[in-house]
Amino acid sequence: MSDKLNLTLKIWRQASPGAAGEFKSYKLYDISTDMSFLEMLDVLNEELIQKNDEPVAFDHDCREGICGMCNLMIDGQAHGPDLETTTCQLHMRRFRNGDTIVIEPWRARAFPVLKDLIVDRSAFDRIMQAGGFVSVNTGNAPDGNAILVDKDDADQAMDAATCIGCGACVAACKNASAMLFVAAKVSQYALLPQGRPERTARVQNMVAQMDQEGFGGCTNTNECEAACPAGISVSNIARLNREYLRATLTGAK
């Protein structure tokens, strides 16, 4: 049997990118503990629409923890209080009757607020365009196992590749640094033979784009690792640093 919660929500409302925003309070009654956090926000929006009020704009897509869209700062925690959990996987049973929940958008110069809780994360897309890919020749598909990959390397590359690009690392970092994201993306290619031919230019270009977007620098506080819903380790940042050092010292440019 599910319990029911009465909640107070303090939500950041901002009409447009340049507009001044403010927190608004909303009361919600009889919220089932079986609901997900986003379903709770759906209930709020239904009520707002019925009252002819503007619904709260928030991002979401898959609602199963794989797309990285549901980015909310919940009570000062990226994706809420649970470890390795996205907002859409967070359940209302995590909260208590009478709680006040503060909901804010990601805060970073490189992630400007578009509306209410939605931020523009296209900075990540531009970092990926700068080098987050491997070039593959067209023609017949190569034999699947033609290139041998060390099992440990494959495992680590897979771990890095679980990054869903949600930006929680940036949101949680006191410097709004994107190092964990870039580290995961550089690592997933650097660890595999398919990524090696382009590794020098890749790390240089992705880091240059990261800096150009206005993210802060890493001070190794490890807040990103704790906040990451995909459990990306800061050991990837050490690899990024290694790759950068290697590219700097041995690269042609």
Partner 1 sequence: MIQTIRAAGSFWLLRVFGSTIGRKLVMAVTGLGLCGFLIMHLAGNLLLYVGAEEYNHYADTLHAQAILLTIAEIGLLILFVGHIVLAFTTDRENSAARPVGYAMKQTKQPPSGMAAPASSIMMATGIVVLLFLLLHLADFRFSALGIRKHDGDDHFTKAVNILRDPLSAGVYIVGSLVLGYHVLHGFQSAFQTLGFNHPKYTPIIKFLSGLFAATVALGFGSFPLWAWAIQK
Query: Is there binding between residue 117 and partner 1 (CB under 8 A)?
Result: no
CB of 1 to partner 1, least distance (A): 31
| Nearest C-alpha neighbor of 82 from the set 107, 106, 3, 91 | 91
Q: Count residues near partner 1 (CB under 8 A).
A: 62
Q: Which of 33, 45, 194, 221 touches partner 1 by CB under 8 A?
A: 221
Q: Which of 131, 166, 184, 188 touches partner 1 by CB under 8 A?
A: 131
Using H for helix, E for strand and C for coil, what is the string for 169-223? HHHHCCCCECHHHHHHHHHHHHCCHHHHHHHHHHHHHHHHHHHHCCCECCCCCCH
> Which residues would be at the binding site for ligand FES (CB under 6 A)?
60-63, 65-70, 86-88
Q: Which of 41, 90, 164, 240 touches partner 1 by CB under 8 A?
A: 240
d(CA 2, CA 95): 13
Tell me which of partner 1, ligand FES, none is bound by residue 70, counting a contact when its beta carbon lies within the kind-specific cut-off of 5 to 8 angstroms: ligand FES
Tell me which of partner 1, ligand FES, none is bound by residue 51, counting a contact when its beta carbon lies within the kind-specific cut-off of 5 to 8 angstroms: none
CB of 62 to ligand FES, least distance (A): 4
Give me 160's structure tokens: 């890095």
Tell me which of ligand FES, partner 1, none is bound by residue 107, counting a contact when its beta carbon lies within the kind-specific cut-off of 5 to 8 angstroms: partner 1
d(CA 99, CA 136): 52
- C-beta separation of 51 from 43 below 8 A: no
Closer Cβ to ligand FES, 63 or 242, answer by number? 63
Closer Cβ to ligand FES, 230 or 240, answer by number? 230
- C-beta separation of 59 from 117 below 8 A: yes
Closer Cβ to ligand FES, 164 or 218, answer by number? 164
Tell me which of ligand FES, partner 1, none is bound by residue 227, counting a contact when its beta carbon lies within the kind-specific cut-off of 5 to 8 angstroms: partner 1
- C-beta separation of 58 from 72 below 8 A: yes
Query: Is there binding between residue 135 and partner 1 (CB under 8 A)?
Result: yes
113-115 and 77-78 beta bridge pairing: unpaired
CB of 20 to ligand FES, least distance (A): 28
Specify burial of residue 220 (Cβ count, 10 A radius: 0-12, 13-18, 19+): exposed
Residues of this chain that interact with partner 1 (CB under 8 A) are: 10, 12, 23, 73, 75-78, 81, 83, 102, 104, 107-110, 130-131, 135, 172, 174-177, 179, 197-198, 201-202, 204-205, 207-212, 214-223, 226-227, 234-235, 237-242, 244-245, 248, 251, 253
